[in-house]
Amino acid sequence: MSPSAAADTIFALSSGALPAAVAIIRVSGPAAKQALETLAGSAPEPRVARVRALRGAGGALLDRALVLWFPGPATATGEDLAELHLHGGRAVVATVLSELGGVPGCRPAEAGEFTRRAFLNGRIDLSEAEGLADLLAAETEAARRQAIRMAEGGLTGVVERLRERLLGLAARAEAVLEFGDDEDDVAPDHRLKSDLADLARELRQTLKSSPAERLRDGFRVVVAGPPNSGKSSLINKISGRSVAIESPIAGTTRDLLEAPVILDGMAIILIDSAGLRATDEVIERLGIERAEQAITVADVLLWLGDEAAPRADAIRVHARCDLLGRGVMPATADVAISVKTGEGMEKLRNLLAGKLSSFLPATDMLLMTDRQRGLIASCAEHLEQAALTPIPEVASEDLRLGLRSLDQIVGRADVEAMLDALFGRFCIGK
């Protein structure tokens, strides 16, 4: 019996916001066919769209709709599935949903429940489900492209290949366990440890690209420098909004201010910060502490100071270059800009976009979510331990734990705990 064979039948509006030209309601579960029969009189032949009059319990006409019937298990959810393509008015949809609620065994779906059933019935694996969740949430082109690759199982393939290799190594470790004492039978596996270390290194390498969350939520670009250097003005200019107060008074900005911006299809969050200087003023000092912290965790630092940047990888900006005495860019700066004249702004955008695209994964690599990165890191850790330990039993156990981490990425291992977290990210009807 499939895991959800005994489950309720769920239904929800699966298409976008109303009103719309067409609204699609999906019904999934053992009572899906009965729901169709109740509303449309009968279910059409499988996978053929038919126009049917939908009627309520009292016989009143609700809508003339296209209806489809997909018998399980070869369906999106792995269960019996019906689709009603209605005219997309709010009243029509509300009435049909309420009629469905009256069919025995049917209830409204929870967020992500359709996808959850697809996963439980083996129609998709966990990384594909995560890709789908991201796809629904993707607001930028770069995030969308990445999410599509994940939804198509890109990460599954990568993990499968890693898993095959790890299985091979685990088998060799077992062989050492079994025959290790009897050196006449089997030559000792001298290369096992270095092969383990190699695989661990490769895993660590895949962690060098940014987490998928960054691509979705935006790279954090912190603008910092001394007071009055033009930080707030720059942020207002790039975002095209008045995010932060600009003023000739040094020490205007205190808190960190965030402005989400799309740059070359990439989501970024521009972060304004308090000007750095020695001060006795308590609030200003708290602001400066926040600024210093933001500088250390920034994905990119735009540094507007004339003195050396606090991070070697900063983009050094010579701001306010239209002002008297600032016309010559110092050799230590990467770009001279003026928000007044617009000079250098294009070059700054290009420098920033270039830096950000270096965080994107290479074409054959995939962005991973924090959860997936954590599992890859834990797998690498187990391999490293296995490569170090002189005790074959310990090495074997480490490899088993390493495999388990990989399995959790695609949801092979015990995963119930994280399902709620993942599927809760979906919208209802997905």
Ligand X SMILES: Nc1nc2c(ncn2[C@@H]2O[C@H](COP(=O)(O)OP(=O)(O)OP(=O)(O)O)[C@@H](O)[C@H]2O)c(=O)[nH]1
- Report the nearest approach of ligand X to the CB of residue 262 (Å): 22
Largest CA distance in the chain: 86
Residue 310 Cβ, how far from Mg ion at the closest point, in Å?
17
Should residue 287 be labelled a site residue for ligand X when binding is judged by CB under 6 A?
A: no
**Measured between alpha carbons, how far is 297 from 19 in angstroms, rounded to an integer?**
44
Beta bridge partners of 70: 81
Judged by beta carbon, residue 84 or residue 309, the one nearer ligand X is: 309
Q: What is the dihedral of CA 287, 289, 294, 296, to 10 degrees?
A: 160
Q: Which residues bind Mg ion (CB under 5 A)?
A: 231-232, 252-253
Quick one: CA dihedral 11, 14, 17, 19, positive or negative? negative
Residues 279, 272: Cα–Cα separation, whole Å: 19
Secondary structure (3-state) at 69: strand
316 contacts ligand X (rule: CB under 6 A): no
Shortest gap between Cβ of 246 and Mg ion (angstroms)? 7
- Answer whether the bond into residue 19 is a cis peptide, omega within 30°: yes
Count, residues near ligand X per rule CB under 6 A: 23
Q: Which of residues 328-367 bind ligand X (CB under 6 A)?
A: 338-340
Q: Between residues 141 and 307, which has the closer beta carbon with respect to ligand X? A: 307
Q: Which tokens belong to 282?
A: 């308590």
Assess 231 for contact with ligand X (CB under 6 A): yes
Distance CA 171, CA 48 (A): 50
Instruction: Reduce the DSSP state of residue 136 to 3 states and report it.
Output: helix
Q: Are 281 and 289 in contact (CB under 8 A)?
A: no
Q: Which stretch binds ligand X (CB under 6 A): 174-182, 224-232, 344-352, 374-382?
A: 224-232
Q: CB under 5 to 8 A by kind: which of Mg ion, ligand X, none does 250 bind?
A: ligand X
Torsion angle, alpha carbons of 20, 22, 23, 29, to 10: -170
Between CA 375 and CA 396 the distance in angstroms is: 18
Query: Looking at beta carbons, which residue is closest to ligand X?
Result: 275
Q: Which stretch binds ligand X (CB under 6 A): 80-88, 145-153, 208-216, 246-254?
A: 246-254
Q: Which of 104, 240, 248, 325 binds ligand X (CB under 6 A)?
A: 248
Least Å from the CB of residue 353 to ligand X: 21
- When the beta carbons of 83 and 246 are compared against ligand X, the nearer one is 246
- The reply on whether position 110 binds ligand X by CB under 6 A is no
Rule CB under 6 A: is residue 252 a binding residue for ligand X? yes
Q: Which two tokens stand for residue 180?
A: 């290790």
Is the Cβ of residue 279 or residue 389 nearer to Mg ion in the bound state? 279
Determine, following the binding rule CB under 6 A, whether residue 247 of this chain makes contact with ligand X. yes
Where do contacts with ligand X occur on this chain (CB under 6 A)? 227-233, 246-248, 250-253, 274-275, 319-320, 322-323, 338-340
